[in-house]
Amino acid sequence: MKRTLMLATAVAFGTFTSLASASGLPPLEQKERYKVGFSQMESNNPWRIAETKSFHDTAESCGWDLIATDAAGSAAKQVADVDSMIAQGIDVLFLPPREEKPLIPAVKKAKAAGIPTFLVDRSVDPNAAKAGEDFVAFLGSDFIDQGRRVAEWTIENFKGDKAVIVELEGTTGSSPANDRKKGFDDRILQDERFEMVASQSGDFARDLGRQVMETLLQAHPDVNVVYAHNDEMAIGAIQALELAGRKPGEDVLIVSIDGTRDALQAIIDGKMGVTVESSPFFGPLACETMKRYAAGETIEPWVQVKDRIFTPENAAKHIDEAY
């Protein structure tokens, strides 16, 4: 039976819970196996690779026949990947939208095709698509809080009288870049010791982070704090600083977000100050939330992930579990 017809029949005969149908969200049948789509945006860093692996690792135990794609850093390809999954008749879609706006039509198309969609790790513009209406829920971290926690740690641990900050932003138009900037800037600039002299995108990538840092160092040789929106750019910044004869950890404080193995090692080596965790291990949470939804539970619009903080005090204890 076609999905739209199944949906109409199910609603007419009350087969599914009233919650899913009352909200206008597509319902999800309880069954042994599901055809599941996971549309990854890119695989150019350890975080993304760990996230995709988490979905693969969860597939068998959750009864997923998983279709996983990689948009190779292109929002347009990610839209096309979702289109292809819809055409292949997936039951459920898990989507980390690369940027906040371009993926909105894909979310709405999945809903129109009767496919419940869960946004994982990144979200879309809340003014254009809403949890509980256009998609079931957002599963992810509080990115504003991550930025704020990095700022709090920096305020407590920066030793000098005057901090000159360079900020390396994530992908322009993405929810973590927007929110991590807001969380950090709002808090750090309340302390008059801190001045932000430059803030530029390194697209969440190590090599671009290094290149941007090289350029910004020439314009701002007095920089003594670098805030990177993810660990990959922080490591790139460390490379650029070392190449310029600077001593990360001694004359420049590097602070960041994610909790990758390389970042924890940099903290142990004294080159980085802190990384606030942003967990990529979404597979088990995606499974549990999908099953709750299929069982007729109302899913909270934001299934929030709680993050730890890695500092010189605990990095060695956690490095073996890092990715």
Helix then strand count (H, E) for the chain reads 12, 12
Among 16, 34, 47, 94, binds ligand AHR (CB under 6 A): 47
Quick check: helix, strand or coil at residue 39?
strand
97 binds ligand AHR (CB under 6 A): no
**Spatial separation of the C-alpha atoms in residues 310 and 300, rounded to whole Å:** 29
Sheet with 163-169, side-by-side order of all strands: 194-201, 163-169, 225-228, 253-258, 274-277, 309-310
**Spatial separation of the C-alpha atoms in residues 130 and 143, rounded to whole Å:** 18
181 binds ligand AHR (CB under 6 A): no
256 binds ligand AHR (CB under 6 A): no
For the CB of residue 225, give the shortest distance to ligand AHR in the complex, in Å.
Answer: 19
Beta bridge pairs of residue 40: 70
Residues in the chain: 323
Question: Which residue type sits at 280?
Answer: P
Beta bridge pairs of residue 70: 40
Residues near ligand AHR (CB under 6 A), total? 12
Q: Which of 88, 82, 154, 68 is nearest to 111 (CA)?
A: 82
Q: Using alpha carbons, list the distances in angstroms from residue 7 to 38, 91, 113, 232, 280.
A: 22, 12, 10, 44, 33
Q: Is 182 left (phi over 0), alpha (psi -120 to 50) or beta?
A: alpha
Footprint (CB under 6 A) of ligand AHR, residues 186-205: 204
230 binds ligand AHR (CB under 6 A): yes
176 binds ligand AHR (CB under 6 A): yes
For the CB of residue 171, give the shortest distance to ligand AHR in the complex, in Å.
Answer: 7
Q: Which stretch binds ligand AHR (CB under 6 A): 45-53, 111-119, 129-137, 188-196?
A: 45-53
**Spatial separation of the C-alpha atoms in residues 228 and 212, rounded to whole Å:** 11
**Spatial separation of the C-alpha atoms in residues 311 and 75, rounded to whole Å:** 34
Per-position x/- string for 54-93, each x denoting binding to ligand AHR as judged by CB under 6 A, each - no binding: ----------------------------------------
For the CB of residue 245, give the shortest distance to ligand AHR in the complex, in Å.
Answer: 28
Of 56 and 193, the one with the shorter C-beta distance to ligand AHR is 56
State residue 129 phi and psi, 5-degree precision. Answer: -150, 135
Of 134 and 231, the one with the shorter C-beta distance to ligand AHR is 231
Beta bridge pairs of residue 163: 194
Q: Which stretch binds ligand AHR (CB under 6 A): 44-52, 70-78, 130-138, 298-306?
A: 44-52
For the CB of residue 143, give the shortest distance to ligand AHR in the complex, in Å.
Answer: 8
Footprint (CB under 6 A) of ligand AHR, residues 99-158: 121-122
Instruction: Tell me the two tokens of residue 121.
Output: 């790790």
Of 10 and 257, the one with the shorter C-beta distance to ligand AHR is 257
210 binds ligand AHR (CB under 6 A): no
Q: Which stretch binds ligand AHR (CB under 6 A): 41-49, 151-159, 220-228, 284-292?
A: 41-49
Quick check: helix, strand or coil at residue 46?
helix
278 binds ligand AHR (CB under 6 A): yes
Instruction: Enumerate binding residues for ligand AHR (CB under 6 A).
Output: 45, 47-48, 121-122, 176, 204, 230, 232, 257-258, 278
